[in-house]
Amino acid sequence: MNTSGGHSDEVDEIVAAWKRERQDLDSSPLEIFSRLLRLNRHLDKFRRQAFAAHGLDVWEFEMLSLLRRQGEPYQAQPSQFMSELLVASGTLTHRINTMVERGHAIRHQDSRDRRIKYVRATPLGITKSDRAMEDLLRSEAAMVQHISAEDQHTMSRILRDMLVPFSGETA
């Protein structure tokens, strides 16, 4: 049962059932969060497909993406991965080892201070992450193509406002 005049979906049915069974509960948050969860499942599928087509796992794309966004020479210290990607130290070590084995990254030390360690994307890693990003953006653009630019901007603003209280927290 859709009250907005648009199309109905499974969430409308879920909310209607909760309203019928538990009138004492305000089930309206389900209208937002159940849809976000369902969209996340689709987005996750699109991301996994885009990255797998280029021989990348989701986590590997995230790490290469972080390196790519740094600009030349496409490197970062392990602590950056830990803080930006919310990755534990042991997990990070395993992931870096895997990226090195696959030829997507190398480890190196700072030339002036040998205590400072870096992970640097290889040309292969950059090429794969760039192509995966192109595919990802195409699929994400397709997901929102039926929504006006103004509504996309509004959605972005609202989602940002919802995320602000969680900034800096681990998920």
CA distances from 65 to 44, 91, 140, 150 (A): 16, 18, 16, 28
Higher pLDDT, 83 or 58: 58
pLDDT band at 1 (very low <50, low <70, confident <90, very high): very low
Mean pLDDT of 81-93: 88
- pLDDT score recorded for residue 46: 87
Please state, in angstroms and rounded to a whole number, the distance separating the CA atoms of residues 144 and 26: 29
Lowest-confidence pick of 1-5, 25-29, 115-119, 160-164 = 1-5
CA-nearest of 75, 73, 63, 55 to 132 is: 55
pLDDT in tens, 2-59: 555 568 899 999 999 999 999 999 999 999 999 999 999 989 998 999 899 999 999 9
**Core vs surface per residue 40-64: b (16+ CB within 10 A) or e:** eeeeeebbeebbeebebeebbbbbb
Q: Which amino acid is at 78?
A: P
Helices (H) and strands (E) in the chain, counts: 7, 3
pLDDT in tens, 62-79: 999 999 999 999 999 998
- pLDDT score recorded for residue 166: 83
- pLDDT score recorded for residue 62: 95
- pLDDT score recorded for residue 169: 63
CA distances from 97 to 92, 102, 105, 123, 158 (A): 8, 9, 9, 17, 38
Phi/psi at 31 (5° precision): -60, -30
Domains of the chain plus CATH, in order, are 10-163 (1.10.10.10)
Phi/psi at 9 (5° precision): -140, 180
SS3 17: helix
CA distances from 30 to 1, 13, 25, 27, 142 (A): 14, 11, 11, 6, 25
pLDDT band at 99 (very low <50, low <70, confident <90, very high): very high
pLDDT band at 87 (very low <50, low <70, confident <90, very high): confident
Helix, strand and coil percent figures for the chain, each rounded to 5: 65, 5, 30
